[in-house]
Structure 1
Amino acid sequence: MPDDPDDPDGRLLDDAVGRLVRPYTFSDGRTTPACDFDLMTMVVATGTELRRNVGLDHAHVLELCRTPVTVAEIAGHTRMPATVIKVLLSDLLERGAVVTRPFDFGKPGPVTVPDLDLLEALRDGLLKRL
């Protein structure tokens, strides 16, 4: 079982079935976030000190947000459902601990025509190696 600082004895997580505690216990039974997130929403910590203590799960999510990360990545790292992560992130957003932005898939640049000579040389080189 992986090491989990929230579960030092390894009783809450089983490699075969996942968490043994209902994930909604970590969000105080809430299933709907107060803010709108999708799986590709980018989240990053602001570095703002929180006035009130947060739970271990909030702190773990906040630690993952030190660098920009998507909601889906946080859910994957924590092995919690994305719905629960969205609730925890919503709490952190309301406290000013994180900021969000839509995932930037990149704007398409100008269309360029590939160098035909280069492509042919690449093809010829690959064919020689076969």
Structure 2
Amino acid sequence: MYIVTGGRSESGDDPDSLLLDLVTLVVARSTAAAPGHSPEHAALLRVCQHPISVAEISAHLGLPFSAVTVLLRDLSAGGLVELRHTREAQRQAAADPDVETLKALIDGLQRL
């Protein structure tokens, strides 16, 4: 894996990289890797034509999770893939509660 990742265990200072986990969904924005990208980058883009989790990518390509995350961060930094973070979505939902649900909850509590 040292050769696949160029000896890296991380890629850059991308703040989104902290959220990259096994269930993060990935979708390719492009079908072709940029010049200088490895064959693994190109294979990753082919696998990601439809939303797919990082765990599934790892299984399809036969690469460890750590190597896949390095490659994904490279592609994300170049704008070639979109990362859909599940934790981010959960935090957003918690931060913006549904007003109708809150009203129904208050009404129910008042009836008690």
TM-score by length of 2: 0.66
Give the aligned partner of residue 6 of structure 2: 28
Residue from 52, 55, 65 that aligns with 1:69: 52
Q: Structure 1 residue 82 and structure 2 residue 60: aligned?
A: no
CA distance 1:45–1:28, shift in 2 (3 Å): same
- 8 Å contact from structure 1 (residues 58, 92) kept in 2: yes
CA distance in 1, matches of 2:11, 2:55: 15
Shift of 1:50: 5.1
- 8 Å contact from structure 2 (residues 33, 42) kept in 1: no
CA distance in 2, matches of 1:91, 1:32: 9
- 8 Å contact from structure 1 (residues 31, 83) kept in 2: yes
CA distance in 1, matches of 2:36, 2:25: 24
Aligned AA (1:102) = H
Higher helix proportion (structure 1 or 2)? 2
Residue aligned with 2:37, SS: coil
Q: Structure 1 residues 52-61 or 67-76, which shifts more?
A: 52-61
- 8 Å contact from structure 1 (residues 48, 96) kept in 2: no
- 8 Å contact from structure 1 (residues 50, 95) kept in 2: no
Shift of 1:85: 0.1
Alignment of 1:1-130 (within 5 A): 23-34=1-12, 35-36=17-18, 37-47=20-30, 51-103=34-86
CA distance 1:47–1:77, shift in 2 (3 Å): same
Q: Which has the larger radius of gyration?
A: 1
CA distance in 2, matches of 1:24, 1:56: 14
Q: What are the ranges of 5 or more consecutive residues in structure 1 without an aligned counterpart?
A: 1-22, 108-130
Q: Structure 1 residues 86-95 or 41-50, which shifts more?
A: 41-50
| Count of aligned positions | 85
CA distance in 2, matches of 1:62, 1:49: 7
